[in-house]
Structure 1
């Protein structure tokens, strides 16, 4: 007689929420139990990807602008302070108005509320541009983050309109609720940035030798072929173009993709994961989603060996 043993389905570590602290555990557990977030996210991502098109197109250049390639830093974090700062000011001014009923205080509260609404639009556009290149749990967290921000914006806009009709007490209740939602959404934004490492510099932790390190025989390097080597424990990608040999970090600064597995075209290497482009000659960003340049290596040939030395900080 064979007894069937029933076992629970195994949950991947990717979808297992952290044990603590309590807020983080229950936040991630909630998001993991909302499969409809993926169903909502997929068509939105597909639509945005289709809109932006391929690197080099005019719409993709807009993506580069919104991601912050021109700044060398993601643009979204710079803009999120506008709605949060303005709505904090509006909340404090509303509290002051409830104490003194001054018209000037009310006007100031209304002005900062509208300023926050305007700033929220700019933050939303840049946030969506960062989010389009995520997947898995990070995509679900980003979708929840966006929905909460959208709900906050609706509440704040409704509050602003109610203020124009003189229903200030109801308006303050709505904006206060919206502010509470924005704080939790900001928490999820921090989760994306600091826990999931979205839009951080993935090569920043990598070190490198200050001395030249031999990595391979020069006669083994095929012209035009991306070749991965190790430089004192740091991965680099080599490319021979004519008589010149170039070397940059092999770990994509965007999400850690292997550049040596990517495509090289017209002086630019494209990451196989999200199509971030980098100039092989100096590591600079050719197109987003990456915003941080790749560290470069000085190259020399001595005694038939290619030797590399890291040149700058990430």
Structure 2
């Protein structure tokens, strides 16, 4: 590594805002997003509006966010639904090409049109579920998600216009619009992949954590205060304990959503709430009480022996 010299008092850029060097596609894509600060002027009002729409975890309206996020599904719903518009519009392009090369076969035209409308229907669900995942991001991820959403919105408008033109008989113009939309869709899908795989939006943050198969002593039983979230180390794995009456419960201290420290959150009525995005988990079994988390927390078996609290990892993340 060659040392780099900088001028004294020269402002430095955080590593979080520095684009990756390789491969070049990721590098220039990240630079593009970094050079579009105007996206923040759009994303901040949209995030505030979306948060007010969903409300708080205790509100009935928040159940919609739980549904769109995928609490019932076990992982985000968005990756499943995006296959519908992508697959349908790919079929549209194939049928359009077949129509162009088959003396304007009416069967190919009808098939292309059916797939176009199916893709538009799938795009609606994809947008709603994507919004539910995006609203809890910030920084570069929020800006990248905003660009992804704007591109998808433009793609949908192009395809909707194409669908209407097909109804009026202007098929060749419609094909030109849908082909342009498909080209844009390839890059937009790439950005979506960056959010999911490079920045980890929607991934289970506890999946890399281990835990012992045998009981490990973590603290003196007398030192665990009633109702207080207490962080302990279980053979290298962070866990959070709480004593509620005669019951002691323990789950992973790393929030499965974006890695927040649950021990710094709040505990009420058997539920711990993450201090970062308010994900709620049952302390007794780690299940998700409310989104944005969709993955349950790993749990630990608890026992007291010789005055020590001992924990053992129970199940896979």
* Range class of TM-score, shorter chain: over 0.9
1:107 is aligned to 110
Deviations 1:206-244 (A, max 9, x none): 011100000000000000000000001000000000001
2:305 is aligned to 302
1:253 aligns with 2:261: no
Aligned mate of 2:48, from 29, 46, 49: 46
1:161 is aligned to 164
Q: State the shift of 1:6 in Å.
A: 7.2
Aligned mate of 1:86, from 77, 82, 88: 88
Q: State the shift of 1:8 in Å.
A: 4.2
Name the CA shift for 1:243/1:6 in 2 (closer, same or farther; >3 Å): closer
Unpaired runs of 5+ in structure 1? none
Distance in 2 separating the partners of 1:11 and 1:216:
42
2:3 is aligned to none
2:66 is aligned to 64
Q: State the shift of 1:7 in Å.
A: 5.9
Matches within 5 A, 1:232-243: 232-243=235-246
SS in 1 for 2:191: helix
Aligned mate of 2:17, from 9, 15, 23: 15
Distance in 1 separating the partners of 2:110 and 2:182:
19
1:31 is aligned to 33
Distance in 2 separating the partners of 1:47 and 1:160:
30
1:291 aligns with 2:294: yes
RMSD: 0.9
Deviations 1:121-173 (A, max 9, x none): 00000000000000000001000000000010000001001111111111101
Aligned mate of 1:185, from 161, 185, 188: 188
SS in 1 for 2:45: helix
Aligned mate of 1:282, from 280, 285, 290: 285
Distance in 1 separating the partners of 2:22 and 2:174:
36
1:201 is aligned to 204
> May I ask how many residue pairs the two structures share in their alignment?
310
1:123 is aligned to 126
Q: State the shift of 1:22 in Å.
A: 1.1
1:263 aligns with 2:266: yes
Distance in 2 separating the partners of 1:262 and 1:273:
8
Unpaired runs of 5+ in structure 2? 1-6
1:150 aligns with 2:153: yes
2:4 is aligned to none
Distance in 1 separating the partners of 2:41 and 2:101:
47
SS in 2 for 1:240: strand
Distance in 2 separating the partners of 1:7 and 1:132:
36
* TM-score (structure 2 length as normaliser): 0.97
SS in 2 for 1:58: coil
Q: State the shift of 1:56 in Å.
A: 2.5
1:98 aligns with 2:110: no
